[in-house]
């Protein structure tokens, strides 16, 4: 058989090692040993649902890592946002350095879905900004699942959205082997057929170029270049190169190349799909005719025929995912392939911060369907577009096996479905839940001095002034402070106000890009600024042991952000530091506030009693600070940043002469066909001249209440 012919699944070389190798930086302690044993026994008994009810800072991730190692099965870890998923991925990589730990989230930095607003006759075209590095990480995740058994995938809820068929994705991979009979032109055709793009410039993931008697390409799952050297019609050598320095890393005997896209179809299947789309179009046009909707019919016909023409000639069209049912051969209403389809049978699912993640999974389908129904009704899409969708919750339940839910505040679903709830209240560090103080929002509070506490100021100027005064004390001794607000605008305004007061502060909310969020959190831990202001992102799962003070503004405003669950989670941000304190600003003792205080005090009592009995002195968690964003940036970006550090001074001495020299260097390396170096110089020039991406600007600050 020709080694470059697409290979079926059975010929793929799969790593036989199945054992997870857990790296133990410390031994389980506190409630961890008991929790690990109970969860392991539950899995062995075949329990479908278990909950790890663990307080913030009790090491739930470490407990789960021990369970994964003992369970010895491929594992999916679901988180409710990208930031938490990135942090979890980093932690699991530390626990399992010899195993395949991957990160799978939505690859959009910005996404505006296609929509139609009928009452204003406004059509909103899909607009998306794809993050190439996250796309690479997605491919690395799916390829690991198809080639290894010792796999942990940390994913956001994008795991339940449509993805190409794993069978099609796997069977068309290309194997290149040293000494095999094949010529360069044939290999180029094979790679183009699996959606690699040809270029004469610097290589990006999923691109190839021909140079002399060799072919170079960058796979979508690695930050490396493979150079295939030919001798006549034979593969003479395979070289693995560093994409920046072009230094030789190794000379592998063979390399497997997976498709550059997840959605893969053969020409035969594509032609069949086109005919199916045409039939559906005829049926829908007939329906519009019966309903006397000529405008909708014309709109649908024109758009669909345009898409068909592009699919026939290019194999692709914008919005091709809306025709996925036809390409997959699914029946109307059948669920799409998702990341879950790439997992082997009998895998383990861990749902982190389940009180948020479970409802999020449950709500995805309804919102998507509502938007698609309008597009279909007004002739923007065929009815089959509805089948490009996330999984329904019951479909998700069917596709996962044994599940462990982890949360400090389990929701109703976990509580009702779990056959075993394992409590983990005692922290290995001996840390107890933070001391709580309630203070008024304004200076005209109905709360009595006994509720306010011993630290009541002689002249109280409101929650903002009080928080600033308390934060200043914390910052002077090297600690950090968090403040939570009710809205994004309030978070931005407060951070601006704090900076005006001479304090180092930043804001964090859902409008901040994924990698920027992670950068902000890393810089916060490193002490580059002292106060972080946020909304919802500060609640669950963020590991910030340097935080000594949490200020919860407007804590009595009952609702989603000030529910019992939300308050307990926010309180937990101060639970990783022995000096941790929480100030809840409230003018009235709302029910959720009372319950959150009561539960926190219950846990404190158990923890204090345990520490007293065992003679334990609480210690602040010491955790190494990693630049999580580094793994999400391209090598190209990092190298440009390093060059800027070296060249900035030279640029400042004589900007014009420096830029001229750099442009001459760029021209020279282009002549040498060294496009990677040329691209580095180009981007360095852009940044020095200020013609690169613009920094985000904060909104205009409005006056703050209580300030």
CA distance 398 to 388: 19
Question: Between 640 and 78, whose confidence is greater?
Answer: 78
pLDDT value at residue 636:
56
CA distance 291 to 64: 57
pLDDT value at residue 637:
66
Instruction: Burial-class residue 598 by CB neighbours within 10 Å (0-12, 13-18, 19+).
Output: exposed
- The rounded radius of gyration (Å) of the Cα atoms in the chain is 28
pLDDT tens-digit readout, 108-164: 654 567 888 888 888 887 765 556 777 788 888 998 998 888 999 999 988 999 888
Question: Is the Cβ–Cβ distance between 471 and 673 less than 8 Å?
Answer: no
pLDDT value at residue 645:
66
Question: Between 626 and 29, whose confidence is greater?
Answer: 29
Q: Which residues pair with 480 in a beta bridge?
A: 547
Question: Between 352 and 260, whose confidence is greater?
Answer: 352
Question: Is the Cβ–Cβ distance between 79 and 85 less than 8 Å?
Answer: yes
Q: In what helix (H) or strand (E) does residue 141 lie, and over which residues does it extend?
A: helix 132-147
Given a cut of 60, is residue 186 above it in pLDDT?
Answer: yes
* Lowest mean pLDDT across 347-356, 523-532, 553-562, 665-674: 665-674
Output phi, psi for 411, to 5 deg.
-85, 180
pLDDT band of 707, cuts 50, 70, 90? very low
pLDDT value at residue 9:
32
- The single residue listed with the structure tokens 């000096």 is 579
pLDDT value at residue 544:
81
Q: In what helix (H) or strand (E) does residue 209 lie, and over which residues does it extend?
A: strand 207-211
pLDDT value at residue 1:
30
Given a cut of 80, is residue 537 above it in pLDDT?
Answer: no
Percent of the chain with pLDDT over 90: 51
pLDDT band of 57, cuts 50, 70, 90? confident
Given a cut of 70, is residue 449 above it in pLDDT?
Answer: no
Choose among 18, 36, 164: nearest CA to 100: 18
pLDDT value at residue 518:
75
Choose among 638, 429, 626: nearest CA to 525: 626
Mean pLDDT for the stretch of residues 452-481 = 82
pLDDT tens-digit readout, 425-446: 998 888 899 999 999 998 765 5
Question: Is the Cβ–Cβ distance between 300 and 379 less than 8 Å?
Answer: yes
pLDDT band of 624, cuts 50, 70, 90? low
pLDDT tens-digit readout, 199-230: 988 888 889 999 888 999 999 888 899 999 99
pLDDT value at residue 12:
42
Given a cut of 80, is residue 471 above it in pLDDT?
Answer: yes
pLDDT band of 704, cuts 50, 70, 90? low
Question: Between 114 and 492, whose confidence is greater?
Answer: 492
pLDDT value at residue 559:
83
Cα dist from 264 to 74, 169, 335, 503, 658, whole Å: 25, 6, 18, 53, 47
Given a cut of 60, is residue 17 above it in pLDDT?
Answer: no
pLDDT value at residue 38:
97
Question: Is the Cβ–Cβ distance between 404 and 358 less than 8 Å?
Answer: no
pLDDT value at residue 11:
34
pLDDT value at residue 671:
58
Could you give the residue ranges of the DSSP H alpha helices within 572-674?
591-614, 635-653, 655-671
pLDDT band of 6, cuts 50, 70, 90? very low
pLDDT value at residue 15:
41
CA distance 322 to 385: 4
Percent of the chain with pLDDT over 70: 84
Average pLDDT, the chain: 84
Please give the structure tokens belonging to residue 502. Answer: 């001479």
Q: What is the pTM of this model?
A: 0.70
Mean pLDDT for the stretch of residues 299-320 = 89
Given a cut of 50, is residue 638 above it in pLDDT?
Answer: yes
């Amino acid at each position: 058989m020709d080694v470059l012919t697409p290979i079926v699944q059975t010929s793929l070389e799969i790593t036989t090692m199945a054992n997870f190798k857990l790296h133990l930086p410390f031994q389980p302690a506190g409630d961890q040993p008991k929790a690990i044993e109970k969860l392991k026994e539950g899995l062995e008994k075949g329990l479908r649902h278990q909950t790890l009810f663990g307080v913030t800072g009790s090491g739930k991730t470490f407990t789960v890592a021990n369970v994964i190692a003992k369970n010895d099965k491929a594992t999916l870890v679901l988180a409710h946002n990208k930031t938490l998923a990135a942090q979890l991925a980093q932690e699991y990589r530390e626990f399992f350095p010899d195993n395949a730990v991957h990160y799978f989230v939505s690859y959009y930095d910005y996404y505006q879905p296609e929509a139609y607003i009928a009452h204003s006759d406004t059509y909103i075209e899909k607009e998306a900004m794809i993050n190439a590095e996250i796309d690479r990480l997605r491919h690395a995740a799916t390829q690991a699942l198809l080639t290894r058994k010792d796999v942990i995938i940390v994913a956001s809820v994008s795991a339940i959205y449509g993805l190409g068929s794993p069978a099609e994705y796997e069977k068309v991979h290309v194997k290149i082997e040293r000494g095999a009979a094949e010529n360069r032109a044939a290999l180029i055709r094979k790679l183009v057929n699996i959606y690699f793009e040809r270029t004469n410039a610097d290589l990006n993931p999923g691109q190839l170029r021909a140079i002399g008697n060799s072919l170079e390409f960058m796979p979508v799952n690695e930050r490396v270049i493979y150079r295939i050297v030919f001798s006549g019609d034979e593969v003479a050598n395979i070289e693995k190169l560093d994409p920046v320095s072009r230094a030789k890393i190794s000379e592998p005997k063979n390399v497997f190349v997976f498709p550059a896209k997840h959605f893969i179809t053969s020409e035969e299947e594509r032609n069949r799909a086109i005919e199916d789309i045409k039939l559906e179009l005829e049926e829908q046009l007939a329906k519009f005719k019966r309903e006397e909707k000529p405008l909708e019919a014309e709109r649908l016909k024109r758009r669909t025929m345009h898409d068909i023409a592009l699919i026939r000639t290019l194999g692709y069209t914008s919005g091709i995912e809306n025709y996925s049912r036809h390409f997959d051969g699914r029946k109307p209403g059948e669920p799409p392939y998702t990341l879950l389809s790439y997992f082997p049978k009998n895998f383990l699912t861990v749902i982190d911060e389940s009180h948020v993640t479970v409802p999020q999974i449950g709500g995805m389908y309804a919102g998507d369907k509502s938007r698609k129904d309008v597009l279909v009704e007004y002739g923007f899409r065929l009815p089959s577009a509805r089948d490009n969708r996330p999984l329904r919750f019951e479909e998700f339940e069917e596709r996962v096996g044994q599940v462990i839910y982890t949360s400090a505040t389990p929701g109703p679903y976990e509580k009702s479905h779990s056959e075993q709830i394992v409590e983990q209240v005692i922290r290995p560090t001996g840390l107890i839940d933070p001391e709580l103080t309630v203070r008024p929002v304004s200076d005209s509070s109905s709360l009595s001095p006994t509720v306010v506490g011993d630290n009541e100021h002689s002249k109280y100027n409101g929650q903002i002034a009080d928080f600033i005064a308390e934060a200043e004390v914390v910052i002077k001794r090297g600690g950090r402070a968090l403040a939570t607000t009710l809205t994004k605008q309030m978070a931005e305004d407060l951070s601006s106000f704090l900076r005006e007061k001479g304090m180092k502060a930043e804001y964090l909310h859902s409008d901040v890009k994924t990698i920027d969020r992670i950068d902000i959190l890393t810089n916060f831990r490193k002490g580059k600024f002292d106060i972080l202001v946020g909304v919802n992102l500060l609640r669950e799962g963020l590991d910030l042991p340097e935080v000594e003070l949490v200020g919860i503004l407007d804590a009595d405003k009952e609702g989603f952000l000030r529910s019992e669950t939300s308050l307990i989670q926010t309180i937990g941000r101060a639970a990783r530091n022995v000096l941790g304190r929480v100030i809840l600003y409230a003018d009235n003792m709302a029910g959720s506030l009372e319950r959150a205080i009561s539960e926190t005090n219950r846990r404190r009592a158990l923890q204090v009693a345990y520490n007293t009995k065992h003679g334990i002195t609480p210690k602040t968690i010491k955790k190494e600070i990693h630049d999580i964003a580094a793994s999400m940036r391209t090598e190209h970006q990092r190298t440009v940043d390093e060059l800027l550090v070296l060249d900035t001074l030279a640029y400042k001495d004589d900007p014009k002469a420096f830029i001229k020299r750099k442009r001459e260097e760029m021209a020279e390396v282009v002549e040498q066909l060294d496009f990677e170096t040329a691209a580095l110089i180009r981007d360095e020039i852009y940044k020095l001249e200020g013609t690169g991406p613009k920094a985000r600007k904060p909104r205009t600050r409005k006056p703050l209440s209580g300030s």
